[in-house]
Chains A and B, each alone.
Chain A
Amino acid sequence: NAGVTQTPKFRILKIGQSMTLQCAQDMNHNYMYWYRQDPGMGLKLIYYSVGAGITDKGEVPNGYNVSRSTTEDFPLRLELAAPSQTSVYFCASSTGGAPGTQYFGPGTRLLVL
């Protein structure tokens, strides 16, 4: 079991560029989440999904998009990158239900210049 994997580990983007952060889990979890963590702060929820084809906004969704075509994958798309999107991005998954324990990936560090 690899758990939750994220790629890339680190990326530098220029303002206005776009990119997709990849997240995959091999635990057959229905629930998946994207969080961002700014320096010295707690994590904030960007988007979440309760199953393939079902996604919803979290606390800070502006500037991001997601899709969930399979149970395993939950990519996060950044369109027109801005310096305010410089952050560390974490993907997590859980079995759901009452709620279930969330397992986090190692994170993607993004720098927008």
Chain B
Amino acid sequence: GENVEQHPSTLSVQEGDSAVIKCTYSDSASNYFPWYKQELGKGPQLIIDIRSNVGEKKDQRIAVTLNKTAKHFSLHITETQPEDSAVYFCAASDTSYGKLTFGQGTILTVHP
């Protein structure tokens, strides 16, 4: 089955800096890669996703890049703000049933 590795496990940045979280996946059949933000005591919320026919996608301060050859994808957050502090999960899916395999998560802390 699919295996998703996520790094780093914790990331601490100053407000205004950029943050980058990286994930690798094992199954070349995976074709959908969402990123979720989870705040304390809440369920994960989709912040951005990318499909295998696209190399990069951007939504305001958030961008995701995908390298299918190397089987890795990354989340980039620019101009970080304290409210960006949360746990971020990457995931991969290889079927239309949408079964997601999640990475282990990254705790992002943005210091004012």
Report A's interface with B, CB cutoff 8 A. Answer: 4, 31, 33, 35, 40-45, 48, 50, 56, 58-59, 90, 92, 94, 96-107
**Interface positions of B (Cβ within 8 A of A):** 1, 4, 6, 32, 34, 36, 41-46, 49, 51, 89, 91, 93, 95-105
A48 to B93, CA, bound (A): 14
Residue of A nearest to B49 (CB): A101
Interface contact B46-A102, CB-CB below 8 Å: yes
User: Which residues of chain A have C-beta atoms less than 8 A from B103's C-beta?
Assistant: 42
Q: Separation in Å of the A49 CB from the closest CB of chain B?
A: 10
Contacts of A97 in B (CB 8 A): 96
B32 in contact with A99 (CB, 8 Å) = yes
Smallest CB separation, A11 vs chain B (Å): 15
Query: Shortest Cβ distance from A82 into chain B, in angstroms?
Result: 23
What are 7 inter-chain pairs, A to B, with CB distance below 8 A? A42-B102, A59-B101, A90-B43, A90-B44, A96-B98, A102-B34, A102-B100
CB distance from A67 to the nearest CB of B (A): 18
Least Cβ distance of A37 to chain B in Å?
A: 9
Contacts of A98 in B (CB 8 A): 32, 51, 96
Beyond A43-B102, A90-B44, A92-B43, list 14 extra A-B contacts (CB 8 Å): A33-B99, A40-B104, A41-B105, A42-B104, A42-B105, A44-B102, A48-B99, A59-B1, A59-B101, A94-B98, A98-B51, A102-B46, A102-B100, A104-B43
Closest 6 CB pairs of A and B: A99-B98, A42-B102, A104-B43, A43-B102, A104-B44, A42-B104
